[in-house]
Amino acid sequence: MFSIEHEFDSTVITLVDDAPAPLQEDVVINAFEECVTIEQYDPRTDSMQKITLSMTQLRDLGAALNLPEGVYTLNTPKRNG
C-alpha cells in the first residue's frame, strides 16, 4: 500500500509494507526539484535513516531497474539552441 501527498516544495510518497510478516518499517520518499530523499525508521538505533539522491542518481536508478548485470552510462540528449 502507498500514499501520495503534494506538499509546498515536494511530493511525498509513503510505502507501507502490507505483505505477510515480517514487516518492514514504512519508507517515506520526498521528491524535491533538485533531489529525492528516502527515509526509514531504524528500530535498532531508534532513529530515522535518510538517503539523498541527486536527480542524476534517480534517473540512473530508474534505468538500472530494467537492465541486466553490467556497468552502464546513460547518454542524455543534447539540447539545440
Share of the chain above pLDDT 70, in %: 99
> Please, which residues have CB within 8 angstroms of residue 46's CB and are 6 or more apart in sequence?
none
Distance CA 47, CA 57 (A): 25
Q: How far is CA 40 from the centre of its chain?
A: 11
Mean pLDDT of 1-15: 94
pLDDT band, residue 37 (cuts 50/70/90): very high
- Whole-structure pTM value: 0.81
Q: What is the pLDDT of residue 81?
A: 60
For residue 41, CA distances in Å to 3, 9, 21, 29, 37 come to 17, 22, 17, 12, 13
pLDDT band, residue 13 (cuts 50/70/90): very high
Q: What is the pLDDT of residue 66?
A: 85
